Structure 1
Amino acid sequence: MEFEQQQVTRWIGYVDWRKRPALRGKHGGMLAASFVLVVEVLENLAFLANASNLVLYLKNMHFSPSKSANNVTNFMGTAFLLALLGGFLSDAFFTTYHIYLISAAIEFLV
């Protein structure tokens, strides 16, 4: 009976950052999910703020307003499509960690 009780409260196959078994009541849950959601919203706000500043920067670099806005939307579309490609590659062939390292190296080099 005690083994069944312990089996129910553990996430099978998951460990915490110290390689201890992850417990259902202690790890994950709504607190972790809300943290990820807030970080994702803030990241998107920063991305859109940089995109609007990039339009103004390109206008100062003597692009027409329509051409600078077109260049920025092309950049945003490419960034979002590459995120889909990275998600597919991490699910199908690699681990998420490897794709993260490859993306960080590409971002650093470009």
Structure 2
Amino acid sequence: MEVENQSSSWNGYVDWRRRPAVKGRHGGMVAASFVLVVEVLENLAFLANASNLVRYLSEDMHFSPSQSANSVTNFMGTSFLLALLGGFLSDAFFTTFVIYIASAAIEFLVRRRF
């Protein structure tokens, strides 16, 4: 009986109630669909903020439309590349907490300088 329970559960994983995660009941297509929907909604929100930032830079900050769009795309590219770099450093060398603190210190220093 105990052997069947071990083979049908994910070793080392638990559900939100700290019970062993069971194969076929946890994970699978439902969890993958949830992650996909969350990622799509996150990208929609990010792009909506980017378009609002272009409008803000052109109307309120009096940048030219090309200059404001260029600034926003530079920001987006930098944020995506730094997220990849932070994820790599977090997985390969440091913990997530160390990368978070280092990123916050860099952001603080840049904001203080400009």
TM band (smaller chain): 0.7 to 0.9
The answer to whether the 8 Å contact 1:89/1:99 transfers is no
Q: Secondary structure at the match of 2:11?
A: strand
Deviation at 1:13, TM superposition (A): 1.3
Task: Give TM-score scaled by structure 1 length.
Answer: 0.81
The answer to whether the 8 Å contact 1:9/1:24 transfers is yes
Alignment of 1:29-108 (within 5 A): 29-60=28-59, 61-95=61-95, 98=97, 102=100, 106=104
Deviations along 1:57-81, one digit per CA (max 9) or x if unpaired, are 1001111111111100010001101
**Which letter does structure 2 place at the counterpart of 1:59?**
S
RMSD between superposed Cα atoms in Å? 2.4
CA distance, structure 2, for counterparts of residue 95 and residue 26 of structure 1: 31
Aligned length: 105
Deviation at 1:99, TM superposition (A): 6.9
CA distance, structure 1, for counterparts of residue 35 and residue 84 of structure 2: 18
Unaligned runs of 5+ in 1: none
Deviation at 1:3, TM superposition (A): 2.6
Deviation at 1:88, TM superposition (A): 0.6
Does 68-77 or 79-88 show the bigger shift?
79-88
Task: Give TM-score scaled by structure 2 length.
Answer: 0.79
